Each structure stands twice: as C-alpha cells, then as structure tokens.
C-alpha cells in the first residue's frame, strides 16, 4: 500500500477499534495493508500472560501483516498518562519490567521500532530528577532493543493535548535521543516524527523535516486540526511526505488517525491518489 519510497502501516490502536484486538490485523489486510503498528495493547499490564502475546502474534501471522512499530508500556493510553519511563516509583518499575517483554515480542514478529513515551511531569518531583531517570531507563531500553536489532523511538507530543509532557518540540525529542546514544554508544535511539503532534504544537513542518528528517526512525501522520485522515484538515500531507522522502527517509509511515463517521475501512480513499 502506497507508492514511491513510502510504505504505510495502519495503527491498530486507533483504526479498526470497533473489532477485538486479534481481529484487527485481518481487517487491515482486507483493506490492502501488509504492515501495522500498535500502542502497547495491554495498558494495565506491562507483563501480560504468554497466551495473550501468542494470540496476537498468531493473528498478525495469519493475516500476513508485519508489525513495524510498537509502544513500550506507557501507562493508561488512551487516557491521562503519556508514558512511564520518567515517572519515579512503581511506573518506572513497570516500564523496566515491560522492556524485555516488548523487545521479545518485537523480535518474534520482526518489529524493528519500539516507541518509548517519556511520561508526564509529576508534581513535587524536580524535572532534573525525572530527566535523569528517563535517561537511565531509555538507555536500558536501547541496550535491550539493540540485542533484537531494533531502534528505540523518542516522540514529541503537542502541549495542547499533553500539557504535562515535557517533550513538545522536535528539537526536544532529538536532543534526548542524542543523549541516549551518547550514554550507550549504540546509536539506536531515534526520533519519532509525528506530523500531527508537531503541527498542533505550532511547529513549521517543512523546517522540522529539513532539520530532523535524518534523525527520524519512524513517522506518523494525521491531518490537523481534528486528527482525521489526510484531506480532512489543512495539512498538505502528500507534500510533506514528498519533502521527507527527499531527506532520505525511506521507512514506514504510520496512519495514526481517527477514522471518522464512515469507519476505518472507508478512511483510506486519500491513498488512491498518493
């Protein structure tokens, strides 16, 4: 699905959500996709039962869909949380417990990109304390991911929808990824470039692409405003993807948008002309 150097992956945490999780890969395949991505599918459980992991793995295999990006445990998502790795105490421990599980699942499915959401600021905790914990946990995740030939992604979210999330600019996320690379020496921590979040945050997208396209390890799209499919808002998504391609990015582009009233299967019409 897609043309040129861009390959599109359906985000199964936002699309086909009217179906049980294990039926979504087949729905994506029926719509013409061979690749999917997921938030951590068990938001309350960083270490789910092995049978649930196996069931999802089999659903992906039986549908002929490859998992190309997966979030680490990120707390209640969707919900009030925006990650766990910088949150001291139990949430940080849950993130670390999830790392081997998520990396193992990625290895078994051929997934090579793992998104590590940074986490919200916590009242009463100095930002420097959270940032030090984040660097420690990201380095831990990067070392584990390296053993599976995968990269760890750091994402910037928009401050409008995530006001307590500290990484709200592309440069913030790129700087954190660089610190992780310096700490590990592995160079496998990359920038997750979500064009929707960056647009809502007020960034100039052509400038972001030109400056940081070379650091992108994964890209996600939705139109803005509204977080709908391309063509429902004001972004020139095809033009932005073309610009990204000229930076040398040839990886996956995740469709992380709300499908609208017509349902998921009818939200892909924009791809016919792309």
Structure tokens at 224: 């803005």
Q: Is 256 a catalytic site residue?
A: yes
Between strands 216-221 and 189-194, the pairing is parallel
- Per DSSP, the residues of 82-102 read -BSTTSTTHHHHHHHHHHHHH
User: What CA–CA distances, in Å, run from 92 to 95, 152, 224?
Assistant: 5, 17, 32
Of the residues 51, 155, 161, 203, only one is catalytic, namely 155
Q: In the annotation, is 37 catalytic?
A: no
> What b/e string do you get for 147-186 counting C-beta neighbours within 10 Å, with b at 16 or more?
ebebbbbbbbbbbeebeebbbbbbebbbebbebbbebbee
Task: Give the integer Cα–Cα distance in Å for 270 and 259.
Answer: 12
- pLDDT, one tens digit per residue, over 193-226 is 999 999 999 999 999 999 999 999 999 999 999 9
Q: What is the pLDDT of residues 80-130, one digit of tens each?
A: 999 999 999 999 999 999 999 999 999 999 999 999 999 999 999 999 999
pLDDT band, very low/low/confident/very high, at 2 (cuts 50, 70, 90) = very low
> What phi, psi does 101 have (nearest 5°)?
-65, -50
Q: Is the Cβ–Cβ distance between 237 and 204 less than 8 Å?
A: no
The residue annotated as part of the active site, out of 37, 91, 203, 256, is 256
158 vs 274, more confident: 158
């Amino acid at each position: 699905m897609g043309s040129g150097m861009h390959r599109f992956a359906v985000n199964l945490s936002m699309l086909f959500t009217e179906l049980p999780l294990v039926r979504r890969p087949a729905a994506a395949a029926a719509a013409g996709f061979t690749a999917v991505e997921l938030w951590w599918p068990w938001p309350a459980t960083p270490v789910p039962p092995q049978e649930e992991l196996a069931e999802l793995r089999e659903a992906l295999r039986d549908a002929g869909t490859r998992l190309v990006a997966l979030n680490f445990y990120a707390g209640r998502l969707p919900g009030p949380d925006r990650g766990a790795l910088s949150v001291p105490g139990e949430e940080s421990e849950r993130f670390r417990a999830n790392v081997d599980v998520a990396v193992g699942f990625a290895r078994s499915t051929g997934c090579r990109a793992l998104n590590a959401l940074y986490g919200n600021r916590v009242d009463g905790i100095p930002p420097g304390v959270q940032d030090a914990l984040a660097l420690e946990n990201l380095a831990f995740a990067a070392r584990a991911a390296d053993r599976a030939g995968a990269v760890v992604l750091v994402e910037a979210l928009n401050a409008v929808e995530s006001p307590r999330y500290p990484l709200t600019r592309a440069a913030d996320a790129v700087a954190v990824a660089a610190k992780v690379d310096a700490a590990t020496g592995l160079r496998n921590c990359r920038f997750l470039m979500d064009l929707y979040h960056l647009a809502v945050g007020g960034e100039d997208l052509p400038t972001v692409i030109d400056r940081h396209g070379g650091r992108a390890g994964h890209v996600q799209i939705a139109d803005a405003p509204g977080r709908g499919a391309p063509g429902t808002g004001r972004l020139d998504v095809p033009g932005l993807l073309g610009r990204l391609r000229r930076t040398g990015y040839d990886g996956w582009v995740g469709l992380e948008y709300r499908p609208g009233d017509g349902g998921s299967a009818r939200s892909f019409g924009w791809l016919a002309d792309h």
